[in-house]
Chain A
Amino acid sequence: MIWEVFRQEDAGDYHEHCGNVHAPDRDMALMFAEIQHARRKPTNSLWVAPKPEIGEVDTEDAKFGGTTDKSYRWASTYDFEAAASEVAESTDEQVEAERRRKVQQEKKEAKGGD
């Protein structure tokens, strides 16, 4: 069976997908993943999950974020000066995320062509 491997570089980081191993069970998968995926890169922890167990939904199946106006859930819609720095930071992060989402949309539309 194929096991997907996720590597956490430092304590506190997210685990990121870094590849896979073939193994008959979880303990062997962990044992092999240790060698294959943590030999040279800094590693704090590794996860393995059986490939068939990994579900996926992608942008073609699900319109991530919705297609109708959802601006009510964005801080940038509201016109007040941020009450404190953390409110401002949160607003800025959301503005950046929305900007990147728009860029992604535009790229897709350009490729779609028809």
Chain B
Amino acid sequence: MAATESLPAPGELSDDQREAVEHLLYRLADDEFVIAERYTEWQVKAPTLESDLALSNIAQDELGHSRLWYDLLEDFEYTESQLVWERDPGEWRHSTLAEQPFEDGDWADPIVRSYLYDQAEHIRLEALQDSTYPRIRDRVPKIVQEEDYHREHAQNWMERLAEDEDGIRKLQEALDRLFPHALTLFAPTDEAVEERIDDLGLRTKSLRVMREEWLDVVVPYLQDLGLSVGDAELPEQYDVHHSEFDLPEHVGRDQTHSDAWFDLQEEFTHTYRRLDRKQANRIMKDPDDS
């Protein structure tokens, strides 16, 4: 196996290189943080005690992953406060899939959301396994293993809900609403920077390629369950999915977000601001030391 070239250490990157790394890390960290935040809304509200525990675990896993990615941004001298608690909400780069609010009782939503997200995550992590940036490369194995459970969990639930008339209707509604937002997972933050990310080998597959792979997996799976994926259905005479989809109004990656995000951000920074905190306190060891 050819050795993966490595980029220099965080402190020695050129400005261009650093910008590319930061964009990539913000995508990763912000996605995990925001989706985790949404998942925690289901704690104590899940349909059964057991399902409550499972979803809570997934929420904590994702939050833990965001912590690992924010830690890599701290290599560039940012603090947790600057990255999470004091950062302008208009600067975040998570996919708008993560920020969507839930309707009361709509269990189909976190399931479909998790399925779409976790399949994309699987592909994304694969593309980071051989990143030329060692700091990212080194974190991937731990994260990948936890994500396996998330995918299995989502699939188990989807299959059971799909067997039921009510269930499949709710799954379809959730899918219709969430699918366009899921596409933003693969949208660029900035076209030039994304090209640089690919050229530098920070990621071994481009956003386009990953999106195709993702569609190749999720569309047949959802169709097999009896769900319709509208625009994404592969027309018979083509072997590539539509290259132009209608993306939602807010894409997230380019720092445009829905009102629901700004409300969410206000909620999770409420205590920090009310108590006039200047730093975010740690309980655990630095990931590099554990």
Interface string of B48-60 (1 = CB under 8 A from A): 1111011001000
Q: Find chain B residues with CB under 8 A from A24 CB.
A: 160
Q: Find chain A residues with CB under 8 A from B156 CB.
A: 27-28, 31
Q: How many residues of A contact B (CB 8 A)?
A: 12
Nearest Cβ in chain A — how far from B51, in angstroms?
7
Nearest Cβ in chain B — how far from A3, in angstroms?
10
A47 contacts B by Cβ under 8 Å = no
B38 contacts A by Cβ under 8 Å = no
Q: Are A22 and B48 in contact (CB under 8 A)?
A: yes
**Beyond A22-B48, A22-B49, is A32–B54 a contact (Cβ under 8 Å)?**
yes
Q: Find chain B residues with CB under 8 A from A28 CB.
A: 50, 156, 160
Q: Find chain A residues with CB under 8 A from B149 CB.
A: 31, 34
**Which residue of A27, A36, A39 is within 8 Å of B50 (Cβ)?**
A36
Nearest Cβ in chain A — how far from B20, in angstroms?
37
Nearest-CB residue, chain B, relative to A32: B50
Give the distance in Å from the alpha carbon of A39 to the alpha carbon of B50 in the complex: 13
Q: Are A36 and B53 in contact (CB under 8 A)?
A: yes
Main SS class of interface, B:
helix
* Contacts between chains A and B (CB distance < 8 A), count: 27
Main SS class of interface, A:
helix
Nearest Cβ in chain B — how far from A51, in angstroms?
14
Q: Find chain B residues with CB under 8 A from A21 CB.
A: 50
Q: Find chain A residues with CB under 8 A from B135 CB.
A: none
Nearest Cβ in chain A — how far from B40, in angstroms?
15
Nearest Cβ in chain A — how far from B150, in angstroms?
11
Q: Are B49 and A35 in contact (CB under 8 A)?
A: no
Chain A, range 4-25, C-beta contacts under 8 Å to B: 21-24
Q: Are B153 and A31 in contact (CB under 8 A)?
A: yes
Nearest-CB residue, chain B, relative to A34: B149
Nearest-CB residue, chain A, relative to B159: A27
Nearest Cβ in chain B — how far from A32, in angstroms?
4
Give the distance in Å from the alpha carbon of A36 to the alpha carbon of B50 in the complex: 8
B152 contacts A by Cβ under 8 Å = yes
**Beyond A22-B48, A24-B160, is A32–B53 a contact (Cβ under 8 Å)?**
yes
Chain A, range 39-56, C-beta contacts under 8 Å to B: 39
Give the distance in Å from the alpha carbon of A49 to the alpha carbon of B153 in the complex: 20
Give the distance in Å from the alpha carbon of A27 to the alpha carbon of B149 in the complex: 12
A-B contact pairs, 6 of them (CB 8 A): A24-B160, A28-B156, A31-B54, A31-B156, A32-B51, A35-B57
Contacts from A to B (Cβ < 8 Å): 21-24, 27-28, 31-32, 34-36, 39
- Top 6 A-B pairs, shortest CB-CB distance: A32-B50, A35-B57, A35-B53, A35-B54, A21-B50, A36-B53
Seed contacts A28-B160, A35-B57; 20 additional CB < 8 Å A-B pairs: A21-B50, A22-B48, A22-B49, A22-B50, A23-B50, A24-B160, A28-B50, A28-B156, A31-B54, A31-B149, A31-B153, A32-B50, A32-B51, A32-B53, A32-B54, A34-B149, A35-B50, A35-B53, A36-B50, A36-B53
